[in-house]
Amino acid sequence: MGFSVGIVGLPNVGKSTLFKALTKKTVDISNYPFCTIDPNVGVVKVPDERLEKLAGFSRSKKIIPTAIEFVDIAGLVKNAHRGEGLGNKFLSNIREVDMIIQIARGFESAKITHVDNKVDPLSDIETINLELILTDLNMVNNALEKNSRGVKANDKLAIKSEEMLLKYKKALENEQPASSVKIDESEKEKGPDFLGESIIKQLLTNKPMFYVINVGENQKELVLKQLESELGKNKILFIPIKTEAELSELSDEEAEILRNDLISSSQKQQIATLDDLIKNCYRLLNLITFLTTGEDETRAWTIKKNSTAPQSGRAIHSDFEEKFIRANIINWQDLINSGSWQGAAEKGLLRIEGKSYIVKDGDVIEFRI
């Protein structure tokens, strides 16, 4: 199961610099059959401190982290929704990803031109958000038109579709994202032919998104605070992308030492790292990790929150879902604290779980089929 994150923003804001820095944390792609091979797609490992510890416990020969794909999407310009600057192509690249990180420029530089000739991250964000909203509005309007014949013929599903699409049209016309529309679950499931739902799934502004402000080295704290209150604290990360790109050439330990030198302690509170960014994507996608461990390898697997044990098994192999009988499950920390599998079993910490068990983050699992 692969998840992908699109890097979106105006031209020249640091998207490719961020992409290159992220792909320094790249993984051996042969372990991830779901991955796309494309120069604009990078497969990036999800940092997880538990893996080393668990591998030490099991004396594993290999550690295989879980991964997310990042897609470097070319810069959008004003009127991209009308096809300006190859807009249609780039917007359709966004349609394919599971979530969006939107980059806005916070750094000053006389050498690097800004498309609007001013450094104003909020205005960058407004421009991009409006393009995404207008793209969605086009899509909803086209769907309404296509649907109108069914409505005229009094088709029940078409009438339902229209009701639903009109809610989205109204929000988008008010420059609100599709994600702001609240839809009752009972209104939703109308079968695969229900046009309304299939369109809504494709809307760009329905995807999870957060903002990354590419800050300069000496960014004023006050400016950051103001952005935070405008956009919402949990929707924004401040990252000095160029500095992080340079640090990504170093080992994690060296990078941490230099980062401490470069960024003052008062700023450090507000400044995020690439690892923070990756973890934030994971969180917004509602993903959790379960682990497998043995002498050959210790490995992390990505699943959606609230997956059952058989559904989780599918991350490894479809047989683990289809032929699932039971699973032996223990929290990773409990396993290490117990000193051995045997010790964990004696303490009653190693449990046998059936088909309806909901897997938790940090579960170590042995599937039985």
Residues that bind ligand GTP (CB under 6 A): 9, 11-17, 74-75, 107, 109, 112, 214, 216, 240-242
User: In angstroms, how far is CA 220 from the centroid of its own chain?
Assistant: 28
Measured distance CA(343)–CA(126) in Å, rounded:
57
Contacts of 39 (CB under 8 A, 6+ apart): none
Q: How far apart are CA 70 and CA 42, in angstroms?
A: 5
Q: Shortest approach of Mg ion to residue 192 CB, angstroms?
A: 37
Binding partner of residue 141 among Mg ion, ligand GTP, none, CB cut-off 5 to 8 Å per kind: none
Minimum CB distance to ligand GTP smaller for 55 or for 241 = 241
User: CA 94, CA 139: separation in Å to the nearest integer?
Assistant: 14
Our CB check for ligand GTP shows the closer of 4 and 60 to be 4
Q: Which is nearer to ligand GTP, 13 or 140 (CB)?
A: 13
115-123's contacts with Cβ under 8 Å and 24+ in sequence apart are 115/10, 115/11, 115/12, 115/75, 115/77, 116/10, 121/213, 121/227, 122/227, 122/230, 122/231
Residue 16 lies near Mg ion (rule: CB under 5 A)? yes
Residue 102 engages Mg ion in binding (rule: CB under 5 A): no
47 binds, among ligand GTP, Mg ion, none (CB under 5 to 8 A by kind): none
- Which residues, listed in sequence order, are joined to residue 99 by a DSSP beta bridge? 5
Q: What minimum distance in Å lies between the beta carbon of 123 and ligand GTP?
A: 16
By C-beta, is 108 or 346 nearer to ligand GTP?
A: 108
148 backbone dihedrals φ, ψ, rounded to 5°: -65, -30
The residues that bridge with 106 in the sheet, in sequence order, are none
Nearer Cβ to ligand GTP, position 16 or 60? 16
Cβ distance to ligand GTP smaller for residue 276 or 361? 276
If the CB atoms of residues 78 and 304 are measured against ligand GTP, the closer one turns out to be: 78
Report the candidate in 323, 310, 321 with the shortest Cα–Cα distance to residue 356.
Answer: 310
Q: Which two tokens stand for residue 288?
A: 């959790």
> Of 89, 93, 46, whose CA–CA distance to 71 is shortest?
93
Q: How far is the CB of 332 from Mg ion (least distance, A)?
A: 38
| Distance from C-alpha of 70 to C-alpha of 356, rounded to nearest angstrom | 33
Residue 223 DSSP one-character state: H
| Residue 147 interacting partner from ligand GTP, Mg ion, none (CB closer than 5 to 8 Å by kind) | none
- Residue number of the CB atom closest to ligand GTP: 75
Window contacting Mg ion (CB under 5 A); options: 16-24, 79-87, 238-246, 353-361: 16-24
Closest distance to ligand GTP from the beta carbon of 32 (Å)? 25
Neighbours of 351 (CB within 10 A): 15
Choosing among ligand GTP, Mg ion, none, which partner's interface includes residue 331 (Cβ < 5 to 8 Å by kind)?
none
**CB-based contact 120:127 (threshold 8 Å):** no
Residue 177 interacting partner from Mg ion, ligand GTP, none (CB closer than 5 to 8 Å by kind): none
The residue ranges that bind Mg ion (CB under 5 A) are: 15-16
